[in-house]
Amino acid sequence: MIEKATRSRGMIPQYSSALLISDLHLTPSMPLTAQRFFDFCEKEAPTVEAVFILGDLFEYWVGDDASMHSPFQQEVQRAIANLSTKVKTYYLHGNRDFLIGPSFIKKTGMTLLRDPSTVEIAEQKWVLAHGDALCTADVGYQVFRNWVRKPWIQKIFLSLPLHWRQGVTQHLRSNSHNQYQQLPATDHHKMDVTRSACSIVLKDQSGDRLIHGHTHLPAHHEESLDTQHWQRWVLSDWDLDHPESGRPRASALLIDSDGARYFDLIKH
């Protein structure tokens, strides 16, 4: 059902330069954000050796078969397929689009990565993750995540009629939004990653540089726990369609021989 992802151990992908993005939440109702992604695929992305999309490319995904009925998703598919002919392009599942399967991956020419995975960029090892599995303080979500990632659950869901799947997804999205709005400000920390979770992942991957998205809190952190020390880079979400929610957002993390830094995609 879901294509087996490239293992993070063994042969580690190696590149001299890369751009990393996540949390675009592409949907027809956000045309400015979608257009910036199409422009990114044409302009900035081909200037590096590899592009990594760390999840939540789409606002939601209810199965590869749904894309046949969505001109928008087909347009995104074509943009990535064209990009994949120019640079190596990788994808890692997010919490919104973990049902992206082998058909879409094959048609786009991307390579699917496990979460987490280790890669080498500019002669340094980087551990890549979407980030939702690192939010271990949100116990309820982790229980939900564990269930929906079970292959037999996914098989049952994907066997349902398309309009049922879309209805279930809309219901879950609405509930999630309402629960977040009702969450006391003092509990918002539960939506962020925990140092203990980062520590465990980095130990398992034998790394000290972590890149993830999901939290929509872009920043570079120097962190430690006991005797372990690491760097953590958080990717930005993209939103050019809702100025009322704050400053427009669209950036990538650029890594090359000059190091790692955020690349503002609004100014370029």
The pLDDT tens digits of the residues spanning 60-116 come to: 999 999 999 999 999 999 999 999 999 999 999 999 999 999 999 999 999 999 999
Which residue type, as a one-letter code, is found at position 71? P
d(CA 56, CA 21): 10
Q: How many residues are listed for the chain in this entry?
A: 268
Express each pLDDT in 158-197 by its tens digit. 999 999 999 999 888 777 666 665 566 555 567 799 999 9
Decide if pLDDT at 17 tops 80: yes
Residue 212: is its pLDDT beyond 70?
yes
- Give residue 4's pLDDT: 46
Tokens standing for 54? 């760390």
Lowest mean pLDDT among 9-13, 57-61, 209-213, 248-252: 9-13
Q: How confident is the model at residue 2 (pLDDT cuts 50, 70, 90)?
A: very low
Query: Residue 262: pLDDT above 80?
Result: yes
Tokens of 158: 């994907």
Q: What is the pLDDT of residue 247?
A: 78
DSSP, residue by residue, 37-91? HHHHHHTTGGGSSEEEE-S--BS----GGGGGG-HHHHHHHHHHHHHHTTSEEEE
Cβ 110 vs Cβ 90: under 8 Å? yes
Taking residues 38-63, what's their average pLDDT? 97
**Alpha-carbon dihedral 198, 203, 207, 213, rounded to 10 degrees:** -20
In whole angstroms, give the CA distance from residue 134 to residue 155.
Answer: 25
Looking at every residue in the chain, the average pLDDT score rounds to 91
- Quote the pLDDT of residue 268: 72
Phi/psi at 10 (nearest 5 deg)? 80, -125
Q: In the chain, what is the greatest distance between 2 CA atoms, to the nearest angstrom?
A: 52
Q: What is the mean predicted confidence (pLDDT) over 37-53? A: 98
pLDDT band, residue 1 (cuts 50/70/90): very low
Tokens in use for 41?
Answer: 């695929």
pLDDT bin (cut points 50, 70, 90) of residue 243 is confident
**Segment holding 104, helix H or strand E:** helix 102-108
Superfamily of domain 14-264: Metallo-dependent phosphatases (3.60.21.10)
Q: How confident is the model at residue 139 (pLDDT cuts 50, 70, 90)?
A: very high
pLDDT at residue 170 in the model: 87
pLDDT of residue 101: 96
pLDDT of residue 28: 95
DSSP H or E segment with residue 100: none
pLDDT at residue 7 greater than cutoff 50 = no
CA distance 132 to 214: 6
Q: Is the pLDDT of residue 228 over 70?
A: yes
Contact partners, residue 254, CB within 8 Å, separation at least 6:
17, 18, 19, 48, 260, 261, 262, 263
Distance CA 125, CA 209 (A): 7
Nearest CA-CA partner of 201 in 216, 212, 191: 212
Domain segments of the chain as ranges: 14-264
pLDDT at 248 over 50: yes
* pLDDT at res. 226: 94
For the four alpha carbons of 132, 138, 139 and 144, in that order, the dihedral sign comes to: negative
